[in-house]
Amino acid sequence: MSEQHDLLEDEGAGYLISVADMMSGLLLVFIITLVAFILNFQDAIQKQEKVTETQKSIVRKLTNREQIRKQLLLEIQSVLESQDIIVEVDTKHGVLRLTEQAVMFNSSEVTLNESSKLNLEIISIIMSSILPCYAATTPDNSLCIHKKEFKGTLDSVFVEGHTDNVPMNSWRYKDNWELSAQRAITAYRHMMNASILSVMENTSGQPIFSVSGYGEGRPVVGHAHTVPTNDPVNRRIDIRFIMSPPSLTEVQRSIIEAGAR
């Protein structure tokens, strides 16, 4: 009887040892799994931080382009005002607006009076002294020694024509859209005449300056009329500046810099 009791005790002890071993093994597996999860989680966080930092870097470069454009517009405006040429700037949309005090079109006309022609020539001279520093290629950028970081940041400049909302009543032009396009061409030609602006190129090797016409579709804020209105404020030229996006090389550099952190 005693031997049988001892045998049962030995079997019970063996069972307890087996359960303890199994629990120890399960605990070890759990710990290993937990450690692996933590390591993977940390790695995922680090990768996400790198991606986020890359995105932030790219956004900073884009934002920097906007800041460069703002400074460019304000510089042009300041120099023009020193020559008594009144313009307005919309830094959010990159627009230099030639007000009716600067360039004036009569209703249904594309011709310019002598004062407007002179102002366009002055505008061309001033822009010719500033914009080459922002182009990718120009015949002469010797004045840009202290602005090397701006090189290639300017992609396009649109000379935009606009009209008021009085319906076209002329045999020359079918509608206000044609009229606005011709006004843009007229202003463009006066600005490009013997000017360095006409040969400036962007990073793609394309001419920076071009023209566009919007008819009556984009009135000045506060001058949108519901009935035909002879409004000289809307018979205008806008000059819109488009900046180059960060290049592929800059983006790759951002990714490498973010990965090194």
What pLDDT does residue 7 have? Answer: 47
Query: How far is 159 from 143, CA to CA, in rounded Å?
Result: 25
What pLDDT does residue 114 have? Answer: 94
Strand-strand pairing, 237-243 and 87-90: unpaired
What pLDDT does residue 17 have? Answer: 54
Length, in residues, of the chain = 261
Structure tokens at 202: 């962007």
Query: How far is 103 from 115, CA to CA, in rounded Å?
Result: 8
Residue type, 147: K
Q: Which helix (H) or strand (E) holds 156?
A: strand 154-161
The region, left, alpha or beta by phi > 0 then psi within -120 to 50, assigned to residue 108 is left
pLDDT tens track of the chain, all 261 residues?
555 545 445 555 555 556 566 666 666 666 777 767 777 877 776 666 555 555 555 555 556 889 999 999 999 999 999 999 999 999 999 999 999 999 999 989 999 999 999 999 999 999 999 999 999 887 665 567 667 788 899 999 999 999 999 998 888 899 999 999 999 999 999 999 878 999 999 999 999 999 999 999 999 999 999 999 999 999 999 999 999 987 655 555 555 555 555
Query: How far is 76 from 83, CA to CA, in rounded Å?
Result: 11
What pLDDT does residue 192 have? Answer: 93
Nearest to 175 by CA among 216, 210, 211: 216
- DSSP annotation of 230 reads -
- Exposure of 256 by Cβ count < 10 A (0-12 exposed, 13-18 middle, 19+ buried)? exposed
Query: Taking the complete model, does pTM exceed 0.75, yes or no?
Result: no
What pLDDT does residue 149 have? Answer: 81
Quick check: helix, strand or coil at residue 101? coil
What pLDDT does residue 144 have? Answer: 72
The CA radius of gyration of the chain, in Å to the nearest whole number, is: 34
Query: How far is 228 from 195, CA to CA, in rounded Å?
Result: 38
Strand-strand pairing, 95-98 and 209-213: unpaired
First to last CA, the chain: 75
> Which residues, in sequence order, are CB contacts of 113 under 8 Å at separation 6+?
104
Nearest-10 Cα torsion for 164, 169, 172, 173:
50
User: In the sheet where 95-98 sits, what is the strand order?
Assistant: 87-90, 95-98, 237-243, 154-161, 209-213
Which residues in 65-83 are b (16+ Cβ under 10 Å) and which e?
A: beebbeebbeebbebbeee
